[in-house]
Amino acid sequence: MEETPLVKGELVSEQTCVTDKEMIHELQLKGFGEIEKEKLFLKSFESLYLLYSDKLILRKGKKQINFDDLLSVCQKNDPETLTKFLIYRDLKTRGYVVKDGFGFGSDFRVYERGQFGEKGAKFLIFGLNEGQQEKMGTLQKKIEQITQMGKEPVIAVIERRGEVIYYKINRMNFYENKAGLEELSQL
């Protein structure tokens, strides 16, 4: 992985604001952040990743913010912050360009290697922690919406040890059980 020079950012609510024009360009090429009024804003998981990788100096006023500080600030508003960071970090270390998901309960859009800026995202990933419960109907609805967009739905499950395992999903059909329980017990 090519070296990213040290990023200097200011914490604005939960986002990192980068104002250095060269740095903005460098980060954008790698798929980081969103431009707003000539400034680049990094999502919390992007900032956490750069802090974790020792590539970001983050300040709020005169105080320097470290990984743990930012994580605890973000978790107050979004209990899924650590889950998102673990998935994001895993995908980035595998060489993917990862952007924020756009609804449908997806956490991330993931571009095939070398395709960022040329093609749309191929995968939409949503994260679950091991043992977390998800209603089948909700899951089915997410999968249908993602498939209709021409994207591949992927569930990223985070094991208790923090390892991420990916499951690609195709269509799921669940039918209401119209048979009585008595009939089922005879099978």
**Tokens coding 14:** 């939960």
Looking at 41-55, 65-79, 103-117, which range is the least confident one?
A: 103-117
Q: CB within 8 A of 42, min separation 6: which ones? A: 9, 15, 16, 18, 27, 32, 33, 50
160 pLDDT above the threshold of 60: yes
pTM of the model: 0.83
Burial (0-12, 13-18, 19+ Cβ within 10 Å), 133: exposed
Q: What are phi and psi of 93, to 5 degrees?
A: -70, -20
Query: What pLDDT does residue 49 have?
Result: 97
Query: What pLDDT does residue 56 have?
Result: 96
> How many Cβ atoms sit within 10 Å of the Cβ of residue 52?
16
Distance in angstroms (rounded) separating the CA atoms of residues 89 and 147: 25
Q: How confident is the model at residue 180 (pLDDT cuts 50, 70, 90)?
A: low
19 pLDDT above the threshold of 90: yes
Tell me the DSSP string of 70-92: HHHHHHHH-TTHHHHHHHHHHHH
Chain segment 124-149, per-residue pLDDT in tens: 898 888 877 777 777 777 788 888 88
Residue recorded with tokens 């017990």? 185
